[in-house]
Amino acid sequence: MPNDTVTPAPALDVAAPADAPSRERFRGLIWLVSAAFFMQALDSTIVNTAVPAMAGALGVTPLGMRSALTSYVLTLAILIPASPWLCDRFGTRRVFGAAIAVFGLGSLFCGISQTLPQLVAARVLQGVGGAALMPVGRYVLVRSIAKREFVAVMSTVATFGLLGSVLGPLMGGALVEFTSWRLIFLINVPVGIAGMWMNRQDMPDYRMRHANRFDLLGFLLFGAASALLLTASELVGAEHVAWGRIGECTALALLVGVIYVWHSRRTAFPVADLSLLKVRSVWVALAGNLFTRLGISGMFLLLVLFLQVGCGWSPLLAGLMMVPQALGSISAKWLINRVLAWLGYRRLLISNTLIVAVLLASFAAFGRHTPMWLIAVMVFLYGSFAGLQYTAMNTLVYHDLDIKHASMASSMASTAQYLSMSFGIALATLLMESLLQGHAHSDYVAAFRWTVLILAAITASASRVFGRLKVDRPVRQEAAA
């Protein structure tokens, strides 16, 4: 997006001098984006803890609830590519405000849902709103924050998301145990109202004077390919479905994907600019994100089910065991600048990916009689290294790009993240279902062990992708700032 066609109208902190660091000048904006990340993180983590209770209330199995989880994440992935055009056409302030409003409305409908199809529909509406929160927030920060401060600011924003991850399991467990699972969605409503007020005060209004034509055909092709792939994965876990139908769905998804690639190369303004993949750090960041999250995205849903269904823990106690993960991620993110300055992206991501895979595999040693303190320690360590992984992957994609590509890169990074999360959740639950094969709850322990070992192997494979980065990445001065 050329700089000379952008007309920003940021609402600056009048108390900050013009030459102040961008973190001071855009303090309100950082709080706003942090609040949006907090709301999304709270929603995702709070739902995991409540899955068994929600399944019982809606008359389905806990693993059968995956459609309520994957529908939200897939909606994010499909709609995120539209965010750059929406920002160019309507401005970041309007788009971000509308996203918060729709997300809050979807949360309200989730809270009053009576059946699983109703809940899935409400989760899709949530996804429609949530699709713009993360990419627009990242894009505005990229445009507003000096590059030397960007890693530190992203770490701060991510920390608020992690605070949502800390509160989510505890609130989810407490609400399910003492009140109703419906409140886990309804608490987003007042947060959304506060976010809309902050948006009017602090969100810059970046936009194009003349927005490019929206790539509607490419958008539909990309969305269809993504939905077909997830549909194929859902059919694998369904009863009485012929494998031929699954194969047809998969083949059609691949065909539509190939058509999109052909279309994008012949379109002036594609919904996802595949030419950015010519930049090594971009395609490595996206591909590494895909394989890493494919292995670890379903981990904490599996752990909650393992503790509640397999081991008979209460929702509150199971939620309490998720807190060390978020605390570990928060503590690790404050070290990301120093670690990047010391190791650089390549060495950090190769080594850290393998460490995350080993820690993930170590969960296979858990059983019904594993001491609570040991589970907490392992979850803390896992969360610490996973936090380093997320921040490094999320900032790598912008490292070698010109500012004019920031919006598209943000959209593609968020899309890859949520696509891999949706498929990661589907893969984890499908593995558990295939290993359980209709057996008793006690078999959740054995199924959990084999599942995490398979997921650990998938995670380890991402280290080969990060090995394609250049040996010495110039991050020392930037990270140390």
Could you please report the per-residue DSSP string of 275-290? GGGGSHHHHHHHHHHH
pLDDT at position 303: 86
pLDDT at position 1: 38
Q: Tell me if residue 6 falls in helix, strand or coil.
A: strand
Structural domain spans, the chain: 19-214+271-480, 215-270
**DSSP class of residue 307?**
I
pLDDT at position 25: 67
Q: Tell me if residue 402 falls in helix, strand or coil.
A: coil
Q: For residues 205-227, b (16+ Cβ closer than 10 Å) or e, as one string?
A: bbbbeebeebbeebbebbbbbbb
pTM, two decimal places: 0.74
pLDDT at position 237: 57
pLDDT at position 471: 64
The answer to whether the CB of 448 falls within 8 A of the CB of 302 is yes
Rounded Cα–Cα distance for residues 142 and 273 (Å): 18
Rounded Cα–Cα distance for residues 72 and 68 (Å): 7
Give, for all 481 residues of the chain, the pLDDT tens digit.
Answer: 334 333 343 333 333 334 445 556 677 788 888 888 887 777 777 777 888 888 888 888 787 787 788 888 888 778 877 877 788 788 888 888 899 899 989 989 998 888 888 998 999 898 888 888 877 887 788 777 777 777 777 777 877 777 777 777 788 888 888 888 888 888 888 888 888 888 887 788 777 665 567 788 888 888 888 888 777 766 665 555 556 777 778 888 889 889 988 888 888 778 777 777 777 878 888 888 888 988 888 887 888 888 888 888 888 888 888 888 878 887 777 777 777 778 888 888 889 999 999 999 999 888 888 898 999 999 999 988 988 888 888 778 877 776 667 767 777 777 788 788 888 888 888 888 878 765 555 577 888 888 999 999 999 988 888 888 876 544 444 433 3
pLDDT at position 17: 39
Q: Tell me if residue 114 falls in helix, strand or coil.
A: coil
19-214+271-480 homologous superfamily: MFS general substrate transporter like domains (1.20.1250.20)
pLDDT at position 102: 92
Of 408, 410, 412, 447, nearest in space to 430 by CA: 447
pLDDT at position 355: 93
pLDDT at position 472: 52
